[in-house]
Chains A and B, each alone.
Chain A
Amino acid sequence: MMHYTKEHEWVKIEGTGATIGISHHAQEALGDITFVELPPVGKVLKAGDALGVVESVKAASDIYAPISGTVSEVNTQLDGSPELINQSPEDKGWLCKLTKITASDADPLMDAAAYKAFLG
């Protein structure tokens, strides 16, 4: 199931692993994405740590880890085709995968309905 943060990241948790990306709303607000900086594989992230940067024609935004874990894979396709984030933010435009995850207790995640309500 997809969960969202107030910073507009999404996280899909499967067992002890998770996939992370930015929401449809986030890509829409940023506009055309021109560059993505992703963390190195093996990096240990705490929930709330900056894991990378997404740049668009309008702005550069830090992306924060919604949960703690270790980076196991990054979406290398984004290197040449950052527009995947605009075209398919919550599927093909994923940013990275984590293993050995532990959920955040500081900032509870929202489910899709709660996130929709948060966006207003």
Chain B
Amino acid sequence: MSKLIFEESVKGRKAVSFPKPSQAESAYATIQLPKALAATHPVELPEVSELDVIRHYTRLSCKNFSIDTHFYPLGSCTMKYNPRICEKTAALDGFAGLHPLLPQLRRGEALTQGALELVWDTQRLLCELTGMSGFTLQPMAGAHGELTGLLLIAAYHKDKGNTRTKVLIPDSAHGTNPASAAIAGYEVISVPTDAHGDMDLEAFKALLTPDIAAVMMTCPSTLGLFERNILAIAELAHANDTLLYYDGANMNAMMGYARPGDLGFDVVHLNVHKTLSTPHGGGGPGAGPVGVKESLLPFLPTSIVEKDALGKYWLRYDRPKSIGYIAPFYGNFAVLIRAYTYLLHLGGNGLKEATEYAVLNANYIRAKLKPYYAEAYSRICMHECVFTAELQMKKGVRALDIAKALIDEGFHPPTIYFPMIVHEAMMFEPTETESKETLDRFIEAMIRIAKEAEANPDSFAEKPLTTEISRVDETKAAKAMVLKA
């Protein structure tokens, strides 16, 4: 184990020498604080040299497991390469140094036309990508987008005088959907999946009662499968004045090929940090813009960036039916800069190509691993493929063990035990940015693991062996949490 920076501390060692305080600054030293406010003992800070600091943090950074160093096929998380040009634009002084209140000040709009144009144009491009009529860029992440979308749906029904209390969610949907619907105040009803991995249409028909506000779908679903009944589902829902919500977590499989708006979805959120690039993981940063069809436009959060006849951009607050603010200012602006850059950098054809490779790569893995691992559903997948460790379970090797073994092979584990409807699930999402050579090395590693599970199942108990800390006791970690040193 490496030392903490505090453990490297040597009394009196310094990294910087402060300039002599000015006369005015020296005056502070004479101020007597009230006893209750004054510290009782000096603050303990690490005393290290500049080189100590550099080496310490550089060493730590080398332990980071990231998309910049390793293949990261974590299903549903879309860990694609994030082009450096997006970092460059997000760091431009004019964007990074901009105060978020400036556009709201008198004449501030004139000083922030570039930033407002970026917001407006991102709204426009996302509309084009998804087939929606308007977007809000405020939501800070996917689940925040879901909540915003549900509040818009609630506002729509309230405005029409509809009494709707329930939301239907297929059991193959993204995991946050039921939580978002519950937080929005809806009762959640789960719709089962049929034997082929699609939503069970007969069960859906039976559950589609007049009190259903919306159907929340992830398409492709978390099984990595395109919902083949989507047009029928949309028709049935709309005949019932039930709105169709699109969870965009898997939009990476559809860009340029299918638009949620054309499929019948009324409300869409995009995880732009996944689909349109931003380094994410460990909980952020994200952005979850929400798009709607025309009938829901009046309810979008304030403010919205608009463009007047003279080509000037401005913030519209006068929106009487709006659900109001759902986040401060304009959302995670730096993430939106990256998304905008990515959209323009790839262009329409580039986005289509990204989709093609995302789907091709997932199917390549699926086809190559099929002889060694059982598929959850045997059919062409979209951008991710789901296996079950059922064959390996016969020897006592679980999905968790396979995930740990992959770490020793130098790969990030897949998503495991999700989707929950697949026993011992393993979900792989290679993304479009991996080469065939990398995919082949990964496939070879997975085949080695399958053979090892067959020949030597007991060897898995201690894996991973190559990491600083090998197998951790996850049960103990969950049961006996130490939250404070």
Contacts and interface: CB of A to CB of B under 8 A. Distances in A.
Instruction: Name the interface size band of chain A.
Output: 10 to 19
Contacts of A115: none
A66 interface: no
B420 interface: yes
A55 B475 CA distance: 11
- Shortest 8 CB-CB contacts between residues of A and residues of B: A34-B478, A32-B475, A58-B417, A57-B474, A34-B479, A57-B475, A57-B478, A34-B475
Contacts of B417: 58-59
B423 interface: yes
Given A34-B478, A34-B479, A35-B479, 16 more contacts: A29-B423, A31-B400, A32-B474, A32-B475, A34-B475, A35-B478, A55-B478, A57-B474, A57-B475, A57-B478, A58-B416, A58-B417, A59-B417, A59-B420, A82-B479, A83-B475
A45 B417 CA distance: 30
Contacts of B475: 32, 34, 57, 83
Interface in B380-426: 400, 416-417, 420, 423
Interface string A52-63: 000101110000
Nearest to B420: A59
Contacts, number: 19
Interface in A20-70: 29, 31-32, 34-35, 55, 57-59
A83 B423 CA distance: 21
A57 B417 CA distance: 10
A32 B477 CA distance: 11
B250 to A, nearest CB: 21
Contacts of A83: 475
Residue with the greatest number of chain B CB neighbours at <10 A, chosen from A34, A35, A55: A34
Interface string B447-485: 000000000000000000000000000110011000000
A49 to B, nearest CB: 13
Interface in B244-280: none
A32 B479 CA distance: 10
Nearest to A82: B479
